[in-house]
Structure 1
Amino acid sequence: MTPPVFDDAFRARFETLLRWRRDVRRFRTEPLAEGLLDRLLLLADLAPSVGNSQPWRFVTIDDPARRAAVIANFERANAEALGDYAGERAALYARLKLSGLREAPVHLAVFADLHPDQGAGLGRRTMPETIEHSATTAVHTLWLAARAHGVGLGWVSILDPATINADLDCPADWHLIAYLCLGYPVEEHEDAELARLGWQARSPLSARLFRR
């Protein structure tokens, strides 16, 4: 098979995709187009993984009772997190919309199977955490694929992961990597909401690049 050629036009479009990828919190409630979620998950499944282990485990949550348990989990954790701030930071934190759990039509939990049979342990002897890293690449791949299809994705990290496995009836040795909301966004911006609201602006690459 002849390999594809990624020309300047494609590279420019890809850069645009990266710049317009956002962590979405405000969703329209309408469902995704028929078959689109399955298409996005097939694309996410193309992500690289250590030893070709493909340790990610995708769990869709449709049951109202399970969704309610996750929302309650978030609300408890969010209230506790507010206590870590004081003054203007606390006031700003209280105004932030940090999840789209009630509006998003799709709830998706992404786990890493810490002991997958696939891959036979290749590449994990000295760095077993590459299992979790691999599952995270699947999340990022899904994020870009979703944005390319006009779908917003929000990563809900303010959760107590200890109860999620039980709430979703998942094996205890699956490690929660991400709880995601997906749906069509209410609005789209090139800049991140946290930057717009004054929580944290992006810093230049030079602050994170070291040469040896």
Structure 2
Amino acid sequence: MSRPLIALDADGVLVDFHVGYAHAWQRAFGQFPAERDPQAYWPMDRWQVERLEGERLTHFGRHFDEQFWSTLPAMDGAVEACHRLQEAGFDLVCVSALEARHEAARLRNLRELGFPIERVHATGNASGTRSPKADAIEALRPLAFVDDYLPYLRGMPPEVHLALVTRAPNGSPNAGEDLRLARSIHQDLAGFADHWLQQLAR
């Protein structure tokens, strides 16, 4: 029999996009940016970087490449949290709003970091009132889905436990009426694992 499934977002839940952003800036412009606000939700607010446009923006964008998506560091406590969930009897899958061409790099990154994850579903980052991840969650039918971006909880199957990771609060989109979509709210993935396993033990 197949094991029950938990679906996890990557950036901000499993891996640290903010640190990766700073390294991409260093590769593009030769200097690791100073930190402006460690509690900023968006990386351009966390780091002391200029607002780019035109050719400089295009140049920076080229550094979000195979190297970038395959070398992001793990979020604190995330690898251990995943192993706890797996050891409790759950299989884990990553559902990421990533371009399909980077799916293999993302999986390689997760595996090299030691995450017990064998599948990545790259959904793309379409705008709209329904999450670009909703179709993947509909097909996978996990018991729970964990994301750090509240709008990506929209349009999900009602039977899936939707968990929101809040992490950095400054400038966060994780506020407002859509908070009712989250069945549980946590500071990080370790917090979700604590909650989920405590519920399981009852």
- TM-score for the superposition, normalised by structure 1: 0.25
Structure whose CA Rg is larger: 1
